[in-house]
Chain A
């Protein structure tokens, strides 16, 4: 009996420890890197992955740099692409690195803890995602003092605390979402729509960047439709919740005609509901992210289009930014990785790009 208890205890401790630790993956620094690409700050096309044989070592030190990417989640459409971009860039340059994230997704405190570790272990460069500037001030100051370059993805703090950031500018995202909706309103298919009642379903109501997006979205819509009814809701990254919310919203606002999804997990739930209730003619539905599942919904018509962020590019470019910083070429502080609107006709081409990047 005592032995059983001991074994059980060990097993459980192992479980909890792996749970409490971070989920980390060590990417292989392979041997196919090519020349580094020139980066521009404005929206560029998707960079091509390296093909050549020789490793071109970094010009500055001639030795491999070890970069730590502290993200908010591992896996998934968005950050899975980021990780791939990160690893491809490292392979290209001939550097090594580690992609880590806390076990609980979006755990800001967990991110800070991992950053502390990175700084203490004197990482050569840090790429990270900061959801809360105040929380991060301390560790970023330490990184500064240790002269570790810091680049953030899809979030930003201040010029004192970090070198630069690259991501989807939230205001631009909101504006793009709104402009896409407005363009559909002008189309033949939706010519009967004479008003706008729109719901915007995001991850949580506390996510600052999403709230900024929503604000920009509203302002843009209201320029053309000053009487538009705009509803903000959350789905907590759950497809079922998103689906149920949409169902309830339709009962609450019978004249609802626009749905914007701002959460990659909730989006399939929304698309599924539209499809099963045959609502694609009655609603303008704008999705988010570019997973295969979501792209299929665009093809089938449940989603009119989806707006993908370019996480691959964000991470890829971040590595190159760090290289630039080490070589003395400081990049611009704010860099927009852009948004890609994918309509039905664009799906095939986009799928090809994903395949090339090895994301499918």
Chain B
């Protein structure tokens, strides 16, 4: 339970992080909070030759509100977002999902972008990014690009990040007026990875449901603005369209059942909140 040896790079600027990534590529991992990476190092599931410390640059630890988005830099800790003044009105989905991430002791150090980079299929922050149709901002020494969340997550712990790219920031859209949000998850114990996690976003245009923990990535479904009488069938179709699997924690059938029931629950919660906002 001790990490293998690695070199440790302390960049003094964003440019130096990008230089180190260009030099070391897939031999390197960027570390900021380390709340997922260090367990993997300790268990030697990950053995990078080089760690690049991104936690010390104040420029990368900013949350900026711009053009209807919260842009969260790669050194922003989860607790920092959790404690953002008025987060519950700026983006209620994040305010409701963050308390489910690990524990207060891990949120104090874990970063938002680290969770996005790790891409665990049951993690809350990737799920919220997909539910809100947010974006991932990537940069190399030569170019910058922005990828939509749904295109970024490719599979279980697999993303579209190239080895020389830094996840510089992610953008979560802020709440539009008249929109309702709900989040729920089921786990064995509080703070465990979710067996199933669901988020619903409802507005006058319709409602979407995003399901995490079941398939290789969290998946978002548009349910339109239809009446509730077709909802059970729609949820059943969603549950069966996900590639649910049996594992140590739960059976595939249990995951489908939770998707249907918890999905229905959050959809009704989000719709009720949207109706309250509009009245």
A binds B: no
